[in-house]
Each structure stands twice: as C-alpha cells, then as structure tokens.
Amino acid sequence: MIKNLVIVESPAKAKTIEKYLGSDFKVMSSYGHIRDLKKKSFSIDVNNNFAPLYEIPSDKVQLVSELKKAATQAETVWLASDEDREGEAIAWHLFEVLELDAAKTRRIVFHEITKSAILYAIENPREINLNLVDAQQARRVLDRIVGFELSPVLWKKIKPALSAGRVQSVAVRLIVERENEIKNFVPEQYVRLTAEFLAGDKSLHTEFSHRLPDMKVAEEFLKVSADSKFKVGEIAVKPLKKSPAPPFTTSTLQQEAARKLGFTVSQTMMIAQRLYEAGHITYMRTDSVNLSSLAINTISKEITENIGEQYLKVRHYHTSSKGAQEAHEAIRPTYVDRATIEGTSQEKRLYNLIRKRTIASQMADAIIEKTTIDIDCQPATATTLPVDGHFVASGEVIKFDGFLKVYMEGRDDEESDSEQSSLPNVVPAQILDLDGMKATQRYTSKPLRYNEATLVKKMEELGIGRPSTYAPTISTIQQREYVERGDRPGAKREIEVIALRKGKITHRKATETYDAEKGKLLPTDIGVVVNDFLTEYFPDILDYNFTAKIEQKFDDIAEGNLVWDNEIANFYKDFHPVVDNAMSMRLEHKVGERVLGVDPVSGKQVSVKIGRFGPLVQVGEGDKDEKPRFASLLKGQSVQTITLEDALKLFDFPRIIGEFEGDDVTIAIGKYGPYIKHAGAFTSIPKDIAPEEITIDQAVELINEKRVEAQKRVVRTFDEDPDVQILNGRYGIYIACKKNNYKIPKTVADPAALTLEECKEIIAAQDVAPKKVPRRVARKK
C-alpha cells in the first residue's frame, strides 16, 4: 500500500522532489501529457460545442496502466505538475484518465523545487483550476482548427505537406515583412565629419553636430577650417542615474542569453528547464517581474554581506504586461547565496546570468557624470561656414558603480558607443589646436533583420504568444523551413574620404563592407510564398491585432471571464466559410510562380515556382505533346531573384566528376535536391556544399559516411524472427516489423537489451487501437 503518490510531468523533476520527501511518498512521472488530440484526425466535435476528442498515445498506454495501478494503491494522490496552464491541463488529464477519487486527490503547485516550497505546497493544496484548463484547451482547439483547415488550402494551392498555424504564420509574416523593408530600402548618402583637437598633451575626439549633405559641402567646410580658430563653447556637466533592469521573465531571459551567451531561444529554455528541475532556479515560464518578500530578504543579505551596504536598494517590481498569468514570480536562483552550481558548462553560464541579474535588480543606481563640450569653428576671414553647427565631445565618468559592479544589460543595436570614458580639462573660450579633421562618405543603414532574441521581443510587444509559446513557435517555423537561421556576408563599396591635417587637404578612396549580419532569421522562398498567399486570402489570421486579441481572450478565459467554447464558436463561424471559399477559387497561375522568359534552344517558356519538393525551374508548360523539364534551385538561389541565365545553367546536370572503386561518380539534381550517384546507390549532398563545386574527394567522403551510418542503423536483429528488428533512426531507437514502425516506451531503460518476446509485447500493445477516453464536462456553462 502506498501512502502518498506524487505525480509530476518530468522524471528529472521527480528525482529532485524525491530527495525532499520521506519514505511515505512515492514520486512518479507522467512524461508530459498522457493524452492529447489525435495526431492524424481533426479530433474536434464541431456539433457538440467543439468538444475535443482525446486519445492516449500508443507509447503512453503502458505508462498510464502503471500510474493507474499506483493511484489505486495510494491513500492520497498529489498532482504536482507545473503551475501554468499547460501544467494545470496535465493535472486535469491525469485526474480524468486515472479516474481519481476527488476525495483523496490533491493539486499542489510550487514555482521552485526546494524542500520548503514543496512542504508548503503539501500543507496548502488546492483544487484543479478549471479556468486554466479551459484556457489551455481553447488554445489547443483553436490551433487545431486553424492548422487542420488552413493547411489543406496550402497543399492544394501551393504544395503538399505545408502547414499553417495561428501564431507561427504571424511570426513568419514579421520576418517576411522585414525582408521586404530591406529589399525596398534605398540608402541615402550623407557625410560624417569628425575632428581631433589638442588640449595640452591630451587628444579630444569630436563629431560635428549635423550630418553634411554631400562631399562637395564637406570639402568646402574643410577648406574654411584650414584657416579657422576653434574655441571651446558651452561645457555642460550633468549627473545621470542608471537603474538596474528587473529580474528575468521568460522573454527577457531568452533575449539576454542570446546577446551575452549566444544561445538560441529553444536552447535557453532547455537549459533553464534543467536548472529548474534540479532545484537551482524558479519556474522558467513566466511573464512576472515580481520577487517574493523572502527572496528580497535573502538577496538583500547577500548584497549587504558580500558587496556592501551602500550597494543595497530594495526594489519592488510590478508586471506591466496585460496578459501576465503564467506564474507569480520572476526567474531567480532558489538559493541566491550559491555563487556556483554543479552542472554542465552551459548550465553554469545561464545560472550565473540569472543570479547576477537577480542580485543587480536589488542594488543601488549607478551615478554617472556626463560631460558635453561644444567647440565652435571661427573662420579667420569674413567667410561663412557652408553649414551651421559645432563640434561636440562627450564623455562619461562613473562616480558610483552601483549595480554595474555586478551586471550590465545587453543591447540589441549593433552600434558601438562613441562616448569617451574621460575628457581632457578645458575651459570656456579656450582656443584649441586642430590636430586633424576628416569627412567620410556614409550611407544610411537598412533595417536590421530579426534574430531569435529580437523576434521574441517584437512578439511580446505586439502581444503575440505567451512565455510558453515563444520558443516552440520560433523552432517550428525553422523546422518547417519557412525561415532559416543564417548569415549575410555583406557587400563591399567604395567610399570617399577627405582629410585635413597641418593645413593640407587630401583625398583618398576606401573600401567598406556593409549590410553584413550574423545569426539572423531569413525567410525561405516557401516562407515568402506561403506568407503572401495567407496575407492576401486570410488577412484576419495574419493580422497582428487579431492574434493579440485572441491571446487576450485566452487570458480572460483563464480568469473565468469568458466561456471557452463560445469563443471558439464565434471564431469558427467567420473562419470556416473563408476556408471553403479559398479551396474553391481558381487561380490563373500557381501561387508563387514567376515567368523568367524563353529557353533559346527549345523556344519553351521558363518559369520558377514552388514544387512538391521545393523551389524549382520548369522549362515548358506541361502540354500533352511533351512533358516539361524540371531542375531544383541550388542553395543561395531564390524564386524571387533568380535570372533566366542562372535558371538554364541548372540543366547542365547530371555531370560525372570522377571515378571511385571503378564506378563513375555522378552529380545530379532531383526532386529532393542535389545528390551523388555511385554504383547504384544515392547519397544526398548537404546544403552547405554547392553541387556545382563539389570535388571527387568530398563526394567519396560523403559516400563513405553514408555507409558507416547504414551499419550503425541496425541495433539488434533476431535469428528466430528476421522480420523483427531494433533500428536506430532519425528520432531515436525503434522497433521495425513487416514495414511497420513501433515506438519504444520511454520507461525502457536500454532498448538494445530488449528480447524478442518483449519486442512482440510492445508491438502487440501498439497494434491494439488505443482506448478512447471520453472528455468529462468540466462544468455546466
């Protein structure tokens, strides 16, 4: 007999919790959700108030059986999944599927895995919050409706296997629109004027207060300056205060980890999850900046004892975002006095970032003295300056470092500070010697592309998504190849520089690299075509305000202010007819198709479009007499920009590049992209290798790598039954039998050690259709 059964959603979390509870408690994991909407069907009963049709996945059947058995033996069952909407839904599904008795079931929540927090939760249980469950269910149902109804439209009008999503499509729109801004951007020329003055034995770097319009005006200015005096004008000294940033929310942690540690958004969340489950930090999905009184007291003690009492300033932050609901406290260390933790290098770095930010949030302002010096140009004759203005020098001196002693927040802009740390001593009306003056031709900069961190920031500003959805959304749009993370090497251009030194003016040409970017989110051809189509025919789904309003409705459902199925019905009433109309409309050209011209050899039309397997060039229009020819685009080529000449070069394949083991090695481009053909076998060419440039040595290396992978694929076979194999695939180890694949339950510690009988048991369990679990009505609406 089990006295207390605690169920959490993660085995790592279970392991940590088990350390704090006595022998009267058994802790088990549900490994996430134990049931969900069916993967391959709509699974929503539209005619029954949009009731979801749930199923237990085949790989969870055995686990559910074990949980149910343990629950029947327990005196009390404690549902301890996370405290956000997803966690509340997991607790509700456990209650329903395990058929728990309400009288002996307790719901407990905690936003940190510490002994005190867990014991406090056990002493203060509550009921399952059905409002939170309804909010999660509403999101799940709405996203399923949009995905299942909109995706077939994309299959029919663009290409098969595409998908649309309520939040992901809006995220792609942001990236595509930024790309369009960049393409349409026309740089404007201006001139940057700088001067170096001598004040005693120190140099004073200055910049002119205005941009000059062109190099002609700049040269005139330098000519006048050659005989001018330069006098110190106004000197302004202003004290400034810099305040620390609040402790981390999910989005600010994702942004800062990207800036300072180079982590992707999903990487940050994965590492933060491990830190939380190990008991090192509080819950990592939150949009609250609040700190508990206990946390503030322990942080204050840490600052007073180890940094200094003068550095302490207790601050109470309040969350300003309207939808703040995921948790009740910011992300912070559970024990702020722990300067280091056990863990991987990445875990230590992220923990250190969280700890420093948390401590800095309770520290005093930094006191800074900012000095600005104006320097006037006074021509020697009656000549007037070609433009009005003066030179400006500015510098900052830190008088008291305050929170800067511990932490400085990162920045998204890619400009460097032009401030001098200190300035030479000068006085008003002092004449300064000109050491040199330089006019440099410049151009205005295009808008910056989003990286993952700045996209999260923009989504949060627009109210699109919530802490739990930022990382999955950004991962999804990359996995579905609507967006890719990449670099832009930039281009070079010649600029003119005019310099004045010792009364002599010189001209020279210089070369600069511009528009180079690293780690940015770039829309693919498919992403652009899908976005343009959805924006034209489904403007509401792609509308930023509409998406934000939907998020607000989920928040209202979570507060109990709206009925979830009523909101879904209102949405479906308007959405479904638009889908039907889009499915039936006839288009003159395939969506995204672009006619390039005529093939000079055959006289046939050459066009570029999105094909079944990606962007391709087509020669011919597919008439009855002759089938068209196709060639896939190469890496770096785009449907939007490829020329007729480059398109026709793609038909130079296949080509033989050499021999290996007595057989020709041929490079070709097929429906799935470029590949190597050798001895009747085919090997894909990776995206980072251009097929027109691949060497015989590279091809041989790829052929051998594939052979090694094929040998590693077979984990175990059985002589008694050759049909059954344990294989290593793209998503892990699985069982294959007679052209069917079977998942190995997560409870199996060593899949390679499975016997034939155990494999057959897993096959038999998954061949049986999963039992449908009817949804119990949460309450009468």
Q: Positive or negative CA dihedral for 683, 687, 688, 690?
A: positive
Burial 61-87 (b: 16+ CB within 10 A, else e): bbbbeebeebbeebebbbbbbbbbbbb
Q: Are the C-beta atoms of 447 and 186 separated by less than 8 Å?
A: no
Dig out the tokens for 438 from the structure.
């330089």
Q: Is the dihedral of CA 146, 175, 539, 525 positive or negative?
A: negative
Is residue 530 within 8 A of residue 157, CB to CB? The reply is: no
3-state secondary structure of 640: coil
CB 491 within 8 A of CB 215: no
The strand pairing partners of 630, in sequence order, are 618
Pairing of β 229-242 and β 366-378: antiparallel
Q: How far is CA 167 from the centre of its chain?
A: 13
Backbone torsions φ then ψ of 312, nearest 5 degrees: -90, 130
- Distance separating alpha carbons of residues 494 and 497, to the nearest angstrom: 10
Residues assigned a catalytic role: 283
Nearest to 432 by CA among 373, 501, 375, 500: 375
Among 474, 467, 547, CA closest to 86: 467
- Residue 286 contacts by C-beta under 8 Å, 6 or more apart in sequence? 111, 249, 250, 326, 327, 328, 329, 330, 331, 467
Cα distance between residue 457 and residue 709, in whole Å: 41
**Rounded distance, CA 350 to CA 370, Å?**
33
- Residue 206 makes CB contacts below 8 A (sequence gap 6+) with 194, 195, 196, 197, 373, 375, 391, 392, 393
DSSP secondary structure code for residue 420 in this structure? B
Cβ neighbours of residue 622 under 8 Å, at least 6 residues apart? 628
What is the bridge-based pairing of β-strands 655-660 and 663-670? Answer: antiparallel
Distance CA 194, CA 42 (A): 65
What are the φ and ψ backbone dihedral angles of 240, each rounded to 5 degrees? -125, 150
Phi and psi (nearest 5°) for 694? -65, 140
SS3 call for 56: coil
Backbone angles phi, psi at 29, to 5 degrees: -115, 145
Q: Are 134 and 556 in contact (CB under 8 A)?
A: no
Provide the residue count of the chain: 781
